[in-house]
Amino acid sequence: MNPANSLHTRPPGPTLGRFIAFADALALLGGRVAMGCLVLMAALMLAQVSVAFLSKFTTSIRGDIPVAWEYGSYLMGTTFLLGSAITLRADRHIRLGVVIQHCNRSTLRVLEIISAALALAFTVYLTIAFGQGTQRALAMGTTSISSATPLWIPLSVFCVGTGLLALQFAVRLTCAVMRFDLVNPKLRAGGEITE
């Protein structure tokens, strides 16, 4: 059991409970879309390898899929950003266990508050930056070089992903300050509760 999660035992009131449940539902939706993008990315890479393999036996097949790397990059970024919010709330992100294991409860709570506040500020900044990039790309009609894909499309998805992560850092900060549970174990794969 992560000692940081055991610091918070009070359940949230109805208003904050609804806010947290809403943020968790959005994180779950983002995680499901991320899972779909991961499947699509794997299928695209398998198609790329298959086409390259088949092109060795026949000259009528081109040796690559021209948009594979570009769309693979979009799918990878989407998977990472849309999956980050649920990863944070399910306590499946990478943490400095060495620091956590050697802190007392009050120090750990302060570290949770500081780290959540800093992460919230950073993710809000990223969300704004992606939002501005999306607006510029849309206004200028910017497209990618290899496929002429309008760049506002992937940028807007990245903006949504960082926004979901910022929302979860707001939840984490609220939970740390108010002494609520930091983690929703029901958001883990399969919904199993292991703690």
Domain parsing of the chain, residue ranges: 13-191
Alpha-carbon gap, residue 108 to 39, rounded angstroms: 38
pLDDT at 117: 97
Distance between start and end Cα atoms, the chain: 6
In this prediction the pTM is 0.85
Give the residue, 14 or 98, on which the prediction is more confident: 14
Query: Each residue of 2-57: pLDDT tens digit?
Result: 544 455 566 778 889 899 999 999 999 999 999 999 999 999 999 999 998 988 88
Please determine, for residue 189, whether its predicted confidence score (pLDDT) is greater than 90. no
Alpha-carbon gap, residue 113 to 28, rounded angstroms: 24
- Residues 6 or more apart from 38 whose CB is under 8 A from it? 75, 79, 83
pLDDT tier at 1 (50, 70, 90 boundaries)? very low
Q: What share of the chain is helix, strand, coil (3-state, %, to 5)?
A: 70, 0, 25
pLDDT at 29: 96
pLDDT at 195: 44
Burial of 58 from C-beta contacts in 10 A (0-12 / 13-18 / 19+): exposed
Alpha-carbon gap, residue 157 to 81, rounded angstroms: 9
Helix (H, G, I), strand (E, B) or coil at 83: helix
Alpha-carbon gap, residue 169 to 152, rounded angstroms: 25
pLDDT tier at 148 (50, 70, 90 boundaries)? very high
Q: Which of 13, 72, 43 is nearest to 51 (CA)?
A: 43
Judged by average pLDDT, the poorest of 2-6, 45-49, 91-95, 167-171 is 2-6
